[in-house]
Amino acid sequence: MKRIFEVDPWKVISHELKPEDKRLQESMTSIGNEYMGMRGMFEEKYSGDTHKGIYLGGVWFPDKTVVGWWKNGYPHYFGKVINAVDFVSVDIKVNGESIDLAKDSYSDYEVSLDMKKGILTRSYVVDKNGAKVKVTSTRFVSIAFKELYANKLTFENLGSEPVTLEVDSVIDADVYNEDANYDEQFWNVLSKQVSAKDGRLVAQTIPNNFGTPQFTTEMAMHHVTDMEAKGLGKEEDKQVVNTFAKELAANEKVAFEKRVIVTTSRDYADEKDLDEATSKLLDSQAEKTFSELLTAHEEAWDKRWEKADVKIEGSDEAQQGIRFNLFQLFSTYYGDDARLNIGPKGFTGEKYGGATYWDTEAFAVPLYLALADKEVTHNLLEYRHNQLPGAYHNAQEQGLKGALYPMVTFNGIECHNEWEITFEEIHRNGTIAYAIYNYTRYTGDEEYVTHDGFDVLTGIARFWADRVHYSQRKGLYMIHGVTGPNEYENNVNNNWYTNMLAKWCLNYTNEIADKVSDEKLAELGLTEEERNKWHEIADNMYLPEDKELGIFVQHDTFLDKDLTPVADIPADQLPLNQNWSWDKILRSPYIKQGDVMQGIWYFIDKFPEDVKKRNFEFYEPLTVHESSLSPSVHAIIAADLHKEDKAVEMYSRTARLDLDNYNNDTNDGLHITSMTGSWLAIVQGFAGMRVIDDELQFSPFVPKDWEGYNFRINFRDRLLEVTVNKEGSSIKLLKGDDLTIKLNGESLTLTTEK
């Protein structure tokens, strides 16, 4: 654990800059608007350790696969989110010398991310050979104007002598990825334009051998300032530069605004279209003041918070934690573009390639369903529908029928190349189907599941029907050679979770097939015979259970292991993944993230309490929660079982994962998809929210150390506010038609206050 920011309900704020924590500070102060985003690196020069990272949603490169030993079926490339052309950097010179806080003396340092408004500000007073200048920076990527990045710098001469100030503002394509397989650069410059106050650069990703699109991006900078433009701008090899200067008298202050319009070939067909669009977009901001642009952005954030805020009384730390998580999630994805998804590091780092994982469907969908309009989740589902051809391709690569959604992807084609994950962690396919079910259950809207959703379900059902095999000896269908959600075991047989989900998928698809049109069935070529086969497989699917222990068995031979609980592992051997060999981990009974528990969570209202209890009490003591996705699921199930202390313990491991750098890796970027965990733990866990038979239900409790909490929920065109405190719980309908819900088992009809 390492906490480098102060505790504050709405801000991530620090008054210190430790060089060894620079990357951590950058990760934590990332901003984004789904369309683009960036880490909190400085605009000005910094010669110390830093990770300059700017990313454009959906812009990536297929980097040729690196393996030690090739296996048939491995994908040929790993998709990488690529570091965009740098439009942020500004070199600030005081009396001819660049500010560089890695070397300069400075004081009054503050960095502050305002989560309510979505603005990053920073200020300090630098002492350059006796010249004291106060520098402030305010920057945002507008959620009201997606192509716009705006940065306002102010410089104030605090000394008694005049100071010459010079600013070089650049657009620079000479950038590298920290995570590139061959240390290659991904951008070629196509064209440059520069004038005294403006500059433009068009760059294209380098060609690739895999038939995936090359991306073109145009960056256009415009400056608003009282500083004087020096010269007519400069073109260097891979950059354009505008230079401004001013002599500041003692106590004089000057402002400098850099506004950048970013467009890409994702939205515009060719360079000409890009150029025209860029010009139009430049025009549309030209007449507006920084403050007007900022206000539009803040108002948009207000709307988001109005629907989604969670208030916690009695724990400022928890308050800051939940808001930070929601802020970063919304900065990464807010459903504006069905071609985008939620990368595990969002716009905050390069690790994991920035692509789509099953985390989205498993952990993000339930949150977006409740916190945003249903179109947001609908777009997440459409993303997978659009990538169905890729999923068919992936199955075919394995010699299998149907559709296999990828472990990691940008375009539907599998990117990952560990056989035990790529080929075996096929339970992901079940979660893609589950998300459709979840959406349908929450919204009550069957339109999706009976149309596009049914294409997806059918592809998935066909995959399962081919992936199972019939065991003559047992007289049952089995699924061999899988990795369950617990990635600390590989290549197991009959993983209960996977088999259960496969069976459920076959049944659910058959159930929906009864509701879809004949045209749809015909279009998919779905026959009675095929549906009967699905029934037969589902009816005869082997689900390992242990009668004596009364539990579901994680996989065939799990109970043969040495089942010593985690509590008996010496503390200095934890986390296992940093202390044990992979061999020892694999053979151990220790669970990285819930496996049987993941399945119980998905269908939490379908299992009897004693079954849930026996399984939880058997598996949780064997679980090391070394995936950031694990504790929240356990918090919810613990709360469901009235194990309130356990639920709170689990919650505490997810709420401030990045704020307190629990895993000691937040310097690489934030754990975006895990950020849903704290919200899930509060809403589904502490407040016990469920949707059962079209009805919203709650059974809340307040953690001992809290006074209370309050959150808002969006449910079938209503906005509800749930307040829970020591005195009890109350639910208000803020917007929408009357609604009957259950609170602690009792029906309650809610009406808006007139």
Q: Which sequence positions are flagged as catalytic?
A: 487
Q: Is 359 annotated as a binding residue?
A: yes
Q: In Å, how far are 176, 483, 509, 542, 601 from 532, measured between CA atoms? A: 54, 28, 12, 18, 29
Q: How far is the CB of 487 from a copy of itself (least distance, A)?
A: 11
Give the binding range for a copy of itself (CB under 8 A) out of 146-154, 156-164, 412-420, 729-737. 412-420
* Cβ neighbours of residue 623 closer than 8 Å, sequence gap 6 or more: 566, 590, 591, 592, 593, 594, 597, 630, 634
**Residue 423 sits in the site that holds a copy of itself (CB under 8 A):** yes
Residue (182 or 518) nearer to a copy of itself, CB = 182
Closest distance between a copy of itself and the C-beta of residue 351, in Å?
A: 12
Residue 720's closest CA among 754, 753, 674?
753
Backbone phi, then psi, for 466, in 5-degree steps? -90, -25
Number of residues engaging a copy of itself in binding (CB under 8 A):
49
Q: Which position among 15, 18, 64, 469 is part of the footprint of a copy of itself (CB under 8 A)?
A: 469
Q: Which two tokens stand for residue 614?
A: 């026996």
Rounded to the nearest 5°, which phi and psi values hold at 536? Answer: -65, -45
Q: Whole-number minimum distance, CB 583 to a copy of itself, in Å? A: 4
To a copy of itself, the closest distance from the beta carbon of 67 in angstroms equals 4
Q: Which two tokens stand for residue 191?
A: 């064209």
64 binds a copy of itself (CB under 8 A): no
Closest CB to a copy of itself among 454 and 464? 464
Q: How far is the CB of 417 from a copy of itself (least distance, A)?
A: 5
Q: Which of 631, 713, 642 is nearest to 678 (CA)?
A: 631
Contacts from 599-606 at CB under 8 Å and sequence distance 24+? 599/496, 599/497, 599/500, 599/501, 599/552, 600/637, 601/633, 601/636, 601/637, 602/434, 602/501, 603/504, 604/636, 604/637, 604/640, 604/690, 605/690, 605/692
Interface with a copy of itself includes 475 (CB under 8 A)? no
Region label for 412, one of left (φ > 0), alpha (ψ between -120 and 50) or beta (otherwise): left
658 a known binding residue?
Answer: no
Binding residues for a copy of itself restricted to 604-643, rule: CB under 8 A: none
Figure out which of the listed residues 237, 269, 291, 473 binds a copy of itself, where binding follows CB under 8 A.
473
Element (H, E) at 263: strand 253-264
Stretch that binds a copy of itself, among 126-134, 244-252, 471-479, 649-657 (CB under 8 A): 471-479
Is there binding between residue 201 and a copy of itself (CB under 8 A)?
A: no
Site membership for a copy of itself, residue 253 (CB under 8 A):
no
Window 66-125: residues binding a copy of itself (CB under 8 A): 66-69, 71-74, 78
**Span interacting with a copy of itself, options 102-110, 296-304, 495-503, 585-593, rule CB under 8 A:** 585-593
Q: How far apart are CA 53 and CA 153, in angstroms?
A: 20
- Give the span between the Cα atoms of 46 and 49, in whole angstroms: 8
Among residues 472, 547, 571, 572, the one that binds a copy of itself under rule CB under 8 A: 472
CB nearer to a copy of itself: pick between 221 and 415: 415
Say whether the peptide bond before residue 575 is cis (omega within 30 degrees of 0): yes
Using the rule CB under 8 A, which residue among 216, 431, 490, 628 binds a copy of itself?
A: 490
Q: Which helix (H) or strand (E) covers residue 382, if one does?
A: helix 374-386
Tell whether residue 116 is among the known ligand binding residues.
Answer: no
The one among 470, 607, 614, 621 contacting a copy of itself by CB under 8 A: 470
Rounded-to-integer distance, Cα 423 and Cα 429, Å: 12
Q: Residue 668 in contact with residue 351, Cβ under 8 Å?
A: yes
Asked if 676 contacts 367 with a C-beta cutoff of 8 angstroms, the reply is yes
**592 labeled part of a ligand binding site:** yes
Among 3, 18, 474, 726, binds a copy of itself (CB under 8 A): 474
Burial of 307 (0-12, 13-18, 19+ CB in 10 A): middle
Angle CA 661–664–667, to nearest 5? 80
How far apart are the C-alpha atoms of 486 and 498, rounded to whole Å?
11
Name the residue with tokens 């070397």: 103
Residue 478 interacts with a copy of itself (CB under 8 A): yes or no: yes
Please count the helices (runs of H) and the strands (runs of E) in the chain: 21, 32
Q: Can residue 480 be called a binding residue for a copy of itself (CB under 8 A)?
A: yes
User: Which of 587, 614, 716, 742 is the binder for a copy of itself (CB under 8 A)?
Assistant: 587
Per-residue string for binding with a copy of itself, 544-583, x by CB under 8 A? ------------xx-xxxxx-------------xx-xxxx
Per CB under 8 A, contacts with a copy of itself among 663-702 are none
Q: How far is the CB of 420 from a copy of itself (least distance, A)?
A: 8
- Nearest distance in Å: CB 559, a copy of itself: 5
Q: Which segment (86-94, 317-325, 477-485, 647-655) binds a copy of itself by CB under 8 A?
A: 477-485
- Taking CB under 8 A as the criterion, the residue among 6, 7, 65, 245 binding a copy of itself is 65
Among 96, 207, 399, 525, binds a copy of itself (CB under 8 A): 399
List of residues contacting a copy of itself (CB under 8 A): 65-69, 71-74, 78, 397-400, 417-420, 423-424, 469-474, 478, 480-481, 490-491, 493, 556-557, 559-563, 577-578, 580-587
Annotated binding site for substrate: 358-359, 592-593
